[in-house]
Structure 1
Amino acid sequence: MTCPHDDEPTRSRPAPPVRIVHLGLGAFSRSHTAWYTSRADDAAQWGIAAYTGRSAGLADALTAQDGVYSLVTRSAAGDRQEVVESIVRAHPGDDMASLLADLSAPATVIVTLTITEAGYRTGADGLPDDLDPLVVADRRLLARVAEGDVDAARGMRTALGRLVAGLDARRRAGAGPLAVVSCDNLPDNGGHLSRAVFGLAASVPETARWCADQVSFVSCSVDRITPRVEPAELARLTARYGDAAPVVAEDFSDWVISGEFPAGRPAWETAGARFTVDLEPWEARKLWLLNGAHTILACLGPLRGHDLVSEAISDEVCRDAVEHFWDDAQRSLPGGLGLPAYRHALLERFANPRIAHPLAQIALDTATKVRLRIVPVAERERAAGRPASGAAGALAAWLASDGAIRATATGLARVSASLAEDDEFVAEVTRAIGRAAAPSR
């Protein structure tokens, strides 16, 4: 930064001690988990060492700012800047020397992850995908670690391989228990993470046994629309705030957490987080209604000439497809979740023209998202003997948007064997494809 700004992000108090390690540093983690940590009543006790997925650029930008950055919440009333101070250090994801040191430090008691659905590199059974070359390579390195070649851990390439290597280092250091928290959009994300970690840790059996006794896997539902900041917007915000790593997000945020923290945690509830013993309904509400709608819009919107969520939700055809799917989803959700109000709020959030959320960003790895966000609703509706026409429309939008898929049943088989074998449902989806592929007027 070349010139001072009155609102340039700087620390207002000494940096807190590092007690949390975060894997998958990006815009969402900074608008959500880091933000909640910064706002907790005991924020002065909880600092974060954060690791990017691949790029060193964000780590470099944050390091130049002492880890501090601006969160710009954007509403109809205008922009509001808030300085977030919970990140103490930022590292590129491949800085294994630092990661191993952080994960084996006794002061570290929590690991959080936002590595995206695809970042888990798991198969349909939830176990590590042993057809993935990077998973295979990490298994070989972990086997070398188990044989005593601890330096092999520095070559890990996948996020979960790096985590397992760090847990092995922690066991060797005798650093004590910790909680591992998945903040990704996966059903039973803590359970999914646990299965994947133990699947990889089978290559280091002593560490697998240690994890069973010392590591808790926490699930949570996260909710805050945080679009990627495009280059032109980044330049404008940098000029305005003197910040090379700002984040833009909506006003709304929600975090529901379930699980044990054996060595303590921040008082996140003082920042608005909720703790529950039954996460599944809240998780499904968010995954099906918000994320499911995003996937529908990302598939159908471009077919109708739209680039942004706010444009697509203003299109009656797109909005009807979303609400029809929501009708299906709501039948599989219990009472007490405030669904009518949540649906109404989602429409308002999607329509916010000041949040430029590109559909192309949401469309990445669509097949995985469809399997997690749309298919469970369709399967429940069909199991209950209902037509699942809203879910059929959502799947049709996906198939119509993927020009490589020529046959409905073949496409459905990529995400659900039972739906692909359901002739009535296949016919419903086929009819809906014709409507979804119709040119916009």
Structure 2
Amino acid sequence: MEAVHFGAGNIGRGFIGYLLTKSGYHVTFADISAPLVEDLNQFGRYHVETLGSVRKQEEISGICAIRTDDVETLERSVIRADLITLSIGANHLEQAGKALRPLLMARKEKNGAARLDIIACENALCATDILCKALKEPEDDEFNAYLSETVGFPNCAVDRIVPNAAMQKELPVDVVVEDFFEWDIESGKVRRNREIANVNYVENLAPYLERKLFMLNGAHAAVAYLGCRRGYRFVHEAILDQSILKEVHGFHREALAALSKKHGLSVEDLTKYADQLVRRFQNSYLQDELCRVGRDPIRKLSNRERLVSPLLLCEKYRLPDNSILKAIAAGYTFDRKEDAASVEMQKCISNLGIEGAVHKISGLDEKLAERVAKLYLLLQ
């Protein structure tokens, strides 16, 4: 089986590529970085070091890499692929769809009968749907019909912390990961790839997507934004601060109450999941920097993302939401000169005031924007 994975970064190598090679796929990584592509091709392998109560190292082989501007070689790989996956960042999905379109048009002409699955492995709700929409050609009914009939576009939820932790690398492409992972795939939309090892194929993905986005990504962001304010560097340091831990527990209580109400999920099971997440955040081996977790705050504070979505769900069901609001307010204090989105956000606050910025970036109504603004001012 042949897989093409766009994005040879830490998630691509340490999670998606890792599981695909263990499932018997030959993985071709496609990436914009020429040095990374050269290293992957030179060595033809890399190591994944798992950090938990027991440290272990595994070698991943059966891989190669292509630069994304090498269109001819990339086209050949896409034509023969059984599976295409992406971990490029949710902000780049529309651009990726447009770039993939001519490659899939070539596949339609040369290997059009072969079924294919395309899965966007991003921290976003229904990321594959975003990609699929960008792929379709409004004035080409024949191509759109080919996509509908032959290509599966399952959404998925991916969960593995892959930090930029320091390690003694044998190879420059080696990667560090935590010992926990979860990959849930929407089973009803899969055309071909139904036996990826350690994947949870589910009929209804929505509860898994929102559970992960709210309780992992949302709480993770809360730790980052609250921790940066207090001068911590790493997630495991910040979560040991009792005031931050209290807010994380509050965030989890509020988010899981909303999830239980919407999806009928067991509060007991969600509480166990929350406790497991806190233990993961406390993993000091990961050396996971708060600035990494908090980066790109404009996206993370936007309307369908990890902090605002659980807030709106709490509002819908008239549930407590103060800890979620405090996490959002802390997000607006994130000020990192090396982070372009952070710089842009701070300019927005200067120009519009905090309420105006919250309305523009998070899309919140006047009442909620005012509540965020009050908590923001208390944090100053």
State TM-score, norm by structure 1.
Answer: 0.76
1:55 is aligned to 2:33: yes
Matches within 5 A, 1:332-347: 332-334=258-260, 335-336=265-266, 338-347=269-278
Partner of residue 37, structure 1: 20
Partner of residue 415, structure 1: 361
**Counterparts of 1:202 and 1:21, CA distance in 2:** 26
Native 8 Å contact 1:37 1:266 kept in 2: no
Q: Where does structure 1 differ by over 6 angstroms across 4 or more consecutive aligned residues?
A: none
- Residue aligned with 1:357, SS: coil
Which of 90, 101, 126 matches 2:65?
90
1:228 is aligned to 2:164: yes
Greater Rg over alpha carbons, structure: 1
Computed over aligned residues only, the root mean square deviation of the Cα atoms, in angstroms, reads 2.0
- Residue aligned with 1:333, SS: helix
Structure 2 gaps of 5+ residues are 336-345
Deviation at 1:261, TM superposition (A): 3.1
AA in 1 matched with 2:359? A
AA in 2 matched with 1:25? A
- Residue aligned with 1:212, SS: helix
Native 8 Å contact 1:20 1:47 kept in 2: yes
Partner of residue 50, structure 2: 73
Deviation at 1:164, TM superposition (A): 1.3
- Residue aligned with 1:331, SS: helix
Native 8 Å contact 2:239 2:281 kept in 1: yes
Partner of residue 318, structure 1: 244
Which of 354, 373, 379 matches 1:430?
373
Bigger mean CA offset, 405-414 vs 249-258 = 405-414
Q: Deviations over 1:380-431 (max 9, x none)?
A: 11222345212211110112225431423212223343x232x2x3332223
Native 8 Å contact 2:8 2:29 kept in 1: yes
Deviation at 1:32, TM superposition (A): 1.5
Native 8 Å contact 1:186 1:287 kept in 2: yes
Identity across matched positions, percent: 26
Which of 164, 169, 173 matches 1:237?
169
Partner of residue 104, structure 2: 167
Partner of residue 134, structure 2: 196
Deviation at 1:336, TM superposition (A): 4.0
State TM-score, norm by structure 2.
Answer: 0.88
**Counterparts of 1:321 and 1:414, CA distance in 2:** 25
Structure 1 gaps of 5+ residues are 1-17, 122-157
AA in 2 matched with 1:376? S
Native 8 Å contact 2:233 2:289 kept in 1: yes
Native 8 Å contact 2:97 2:132 kept in 1: no
**Counterparts of 1:303 and 1:22, CA distance in 2:** 37
**Counterparts of 1:210 and 1:298, CA distance in 2:** 44
**Counterparts of 2:316 and 2:190, CA distance in 1:** 37
Matches within 5 A, 1:249-398: 249-259=177-187, 260-262=189-191, 264-265=192-193, 267-268=195-196, 271-334=197-260, 335-336=265-266, 338-371=269-302, 372-398=305-331
**Counterparts of 1:228 and 1:194, CA distance in 2:** 30
Q: Deviations over 1:361-390 (max 9, x none)?
A: 222221212221111111111222345212
1:212 is aligned to 2:141: no
AA in 2 matched with 1:281? P
**More helix per residue: 1 or 2?**
2
Change (3 A) 1:354 1:426: same
**Counterparts of 2:291 and 2:321, CA distance in 1:** 27
